[in-house]
Chains A and B, each alone.
Chain A
């Protein structure tokens, strides 16, 4: 009951970004700077892919080249796509044992606490370093039950039919400029299949690490939850702090089968030189439930709008998102709920926090198609501003093509009140502790949805974010 609110203020006073350490470049192969057809062919050849995938990549590339940069959101003009390195292979292959992972890389994940977490409370772990998964492993009993948890490349190799049936069906390469880019140069990510009726009780976690500067990471994940199955997938990300920018642009596709339930949680804590432009979407079938729990603390600019396509009757989608924008950061986060069928329901809760001049926005779409009789949609956005020069904006869009629906939208913006701070300070909390406590309370609805270990981690990250927030 109190677990998720465990505010031990010991995080305060830590250095600003504790994952900012950098390891030497140990990569075994890199493509040259920039992007063209040759680079795409090279990536595909490195992976020994079937012809159809190369074709798909090339179509993605063409679309990417033709499509203009999105102009409706944050300014991306500093993102230098011509001088990025699009593919960096850190090691020869993805291992099932940490002992096989090259030392430098293994040490990084040790420092991040991943192998330890795996032993304690995870059903499986995937770890990506630069462009490739270097480790992927799942508990044996789950493997025996037919649960598949592999790097996306191994997924394509070992389960070509299943892979091809779903790949690109949730997020087509034509979806947006960065989905097109990802379709061209994707590398790494997870392939997950949960068989009918199987409940995976502990979370599966994927961890993403960018180490060297000026590179792009384009992971691609495909998660298929068959009828009546359940799974919770957690993603975490960090990178060292450089003066030049890095780029992360993932695509996550999820199929939620009939009566299945999938939760996808993100704790995005990129260093503040990373552009994070991600497309994640789930297609939800009859009476299935998809939940996105999305928290964005790091990055320079994040543009991310998890979405649910509610395809069949009774499908339910939820998005619980939290964005924290500090100095120089833009968090453009939001959601997209599309109701295609009768009796579908969706719920969006967005919490955004801005401090020291950071900007966080909620950009959301609820779309109700003509067939979606009795659809229910509810959106609640709360913003908390810690300083006057910070900013929070809300851009909600509702497109409703059916009369018999119930749609609600509420938005609130508040500043931390002097009275709240005084009250807490009169009990002995410093201004910083008091502010942190108000912020923790503000995001509590999201934190309490995380497994305990992540909730503790999240509170710690918030405390680190809050260090020096006052004054």
Chain B
């Protein structure tokens, strides 16, 4: 299958099992939403998929386009088409957004074609300007230091900007809606939709709020509790959840 597949994944943090026998398929071109209470392990899952060294699986497999990537470093995963928009993006003082993006793009071009000379600066500027315009970002933003002193909403937009520039095949968006104001939410969501269509992207969207899913229509909604998926359904499931909270699932789904 082209896309992301997670098979029976378990992940420990400090000897405590956080992800428990988790399985999920996100084929290219599909949008999957994962919802679940705080502390359930959603971010842990996203880190494990991206290859964070502290979140190594104790069992199971992560596959990207049918290849097992458990032992790949984060940069290998990224270059293979995986992207993670983080819940808490990290600041890199002294490195401008533009410089960072150009470096990242050049490294990827070079990996694809060792004789690549790097993206010409005018071309880079043009693409950056275009992407920033449709995310309604002020042009001066590109000369700010990456995530350094960014507001919550700015960080999220910057994550989407990176995704737009790097064009992944599979993107995991961990609470991309948190911190966005009402207008920004719509703008960012539209941006994500456009990218998804343009690139036939597969998306795993982690959120607490049904509202985001009004804008980005998921093919499947999964409910995650205590480290694994307890229920999957159509987008209506999100509405139901919004109405009833998690307790009804806890009652209906006896925890393992």
Contact = CB atoms under 8 A, between A and B. Distances in A.
A96 B109 CA distance: 47
B184 interface: no
Contact of B90 (A5, A420, A428, A437): A420
B67 interface: no
Contacts of B95: 5, 7, 437-438, 440-441, 444
B94 A9 contact: no
Interface in B70-90: 73-75, 77-79, 83-84, 86, 89-90
Contacts, number: 100
A443 to B, nearest CB: 7
Interface stretch (B50-58, B189-197, B200-208): B50-58
B100 interface: yes
Q: Pick the 9 closest A-B CB pairs, nearest first.
A: A441-B94, A444-B94, A441-B95, A425-B74, A428-B78, A423-B90, A5-B99, A425-B75, A427-B104
A427 B94 contact: no
B99 A2 contact: yes
B197 to A, nearest CB: 23
B187 interface: no
Contact of A430 (B47, B75, B86): B75
18 contacts: A1-B96, A2-B98, A419-B90, A420-B91, A422-B50, A423-B86, A426-B51, A426-B84, A426-B86, A428-B108, A429-B103, A430-B107, A433-B75, A437-B100, A437-B103, A438-B95, A443-B94, A444-B94
Contact of A428 (B52, B54, B107, B143): B107
Nearest to A427: B104
Nearest to B50: A426
A431 B77 CA distance: 13
Interface in A1-25: 1-2, 5-9
Interface centre among A427, A431, A444 (most CB of B within 10 A): A427
Interface size bracket, B side: 35 or more
A172 interface: no
Contact of B78 (A2, A7, A420, A425): A425
Nearest to B52: A422
Interface in A405-439: 417-420, 422-431, 433-434, 437-438
Given A418-B54, A422-B53, A433 B74 contact: no
Contact of A9 (B53, B79, B106): B106
Contact of B92 (A8, A428, A430, A438): A438
Contacts of A442: 93-94
B84 A445 contact: no
A435 to B, nearest CB: 11
Contact of A8 (B90, B91, B106): B106
A349 to B, nearest CB: 12
Interface centre among A5, A7, A431 (most CB of B within 10 A): A5
Contacts of A7: 95, 99, 103
Contacts of A431: 73, 75
Contacts of A418: 53-54
Given A417-B90, A434-B75, 20 more contacts: A2-B96, A2-B98, A5-B96, A423-B89, A423-B92, A425-B51, A425-B78, A426-B75, A427-B104, A427-B162, A428-B75, A428-B166, A429-B75, A430-B75, A433-B75, A437-B103, A441-B92, A441-B145, A444-B145, A445-B94
Contacts of B78: 425-428
Interface residues of A, number: 31
A438 B93 CA distance: 8
Contacts of B118: 8
A442 B145 CA distance: 11
A449 to B, nearest CB: 13
A7 B98 CA distance: 11
Nearest to A7: B103
Given A425-B78, A426-B74, A9 B90 contact: no
B104 A429 contact: yes
Nearest to B73: A425
A464 B197 CA distance: 41
A9 B74 contact: no
Contact of A422 (B74, B91, B106, B143): B74
B206 to A, nearest CB: 15
A62 B47 CA distance: 67
Contacts of A419: 90
Interface string A35-52: 000000000000000000
A425 B108 CA distance: 11
Contacts of A424: 92, 100
Nearest to A439: B94
